[in-house]
Structure formats: structure tokens, C-alpha cells
Amino acid sequence: MARVFVYGTLKKGQPNYKHMINTAKGLAKFQGRGRTVEKYPLVIAGKYNIPYMLNIPGTGHHVAGEIYSVDEQMLQFLDEFEGCPDMYQRTLMRIQVVEWEGKGSTGEPRAAADGVLECFVYSTATYPPEWVGLPYHDSYDSSGKHGLSYVLRESR
């Protein structure tokens, strides 16, 4: 099992969460909520209003999201879903645990004493330079006050 931190449309209550609970794509077990230890710019960009975490550590906000344990099949699905490595790149980031539901089953790594975990995160270093000038968010909600509704793939 690998740890993945999701901050956008894959979170509970968001348009693509259905993929996280579709066991035909693999297993994803919700572990808790967290935020990035370092600050990153989280922008909503492109004609489909997609959330992107730009891989510019030290700029932006501590981005909030959810921590999942996923099996190899789900990790492969997420790589494909996220357009990895072209659109997003899967990198390890340090995530501060805010709320933990993980049961800590045998062999499952726990958070360090300081509550920090290493998780895979889909962020991007391949983006148009003008995205750096977009508003930065500390958390994402597809129907948030930003007014930029996410466009589902089926509707594109």
C-alpha cells in the first residue's frame, strides 16, 4: 500500500471522488485529513477549471486535502487518471496530519511523532507561466466561492 494525498476533485464530496471508491479500479482507504508542510500554489486553471498544485515549494499556502492508503492497482489508475507524468507528476511530499482515522493495521506505517507523513502527491512542474499569476487557494471545492465549476471529463 502507498500513501496518496489528494487536494482536488478526488476528495470526498468532489466530482471525481467516485473513482476513489470504485473497487474495480483498485483499493483506496481513507486515512485522514492533512495539509502540506511546505506552502504551494493551488490554482484553478484551463478551460475545464481543473485544480493544479504547482510544484513551487515555499510559495502559496499550506494546501489542505485527504490522505489515502491505496493499492498498486489504484496507484496505476491514479497515474493514468492524472495524466502522469505529462500533466501531473507524482512526487513525495511531507504532509502534516490534521485529523487521523487510520486504524494502524499491522504493517501500516503511522505518522511520525510530529504528525508528518510522506505521501505521493500529483502536482505539476509543467504549466503555462501565466498560471503563477492566478489566485492561490488553500483548499479546493468545485462549487466554491471562486465560481469556477469543474467540467467533468464526460462533459468535455
Do the beta carbons of residue 55 and residue 40 sit within 8 Å? yes
Distance of CA 79 to the CA centre of its chain: 12
Nine-digit cell string for 19: 473513482
Integer Cα distance of 5 and 122 in angstroms: 8
Type of residue at 110: R
Nine-digit cell string for 39: 506552502
108 is catalytic: no
Residue in 38, 66, 82, 154 annotated catalytic: 82
Give how far Cα 141 sits from Cα of 4, 13, 132, Å.
18, 9, 20
Query: Which are the catalytic amino acids?
Result: 82
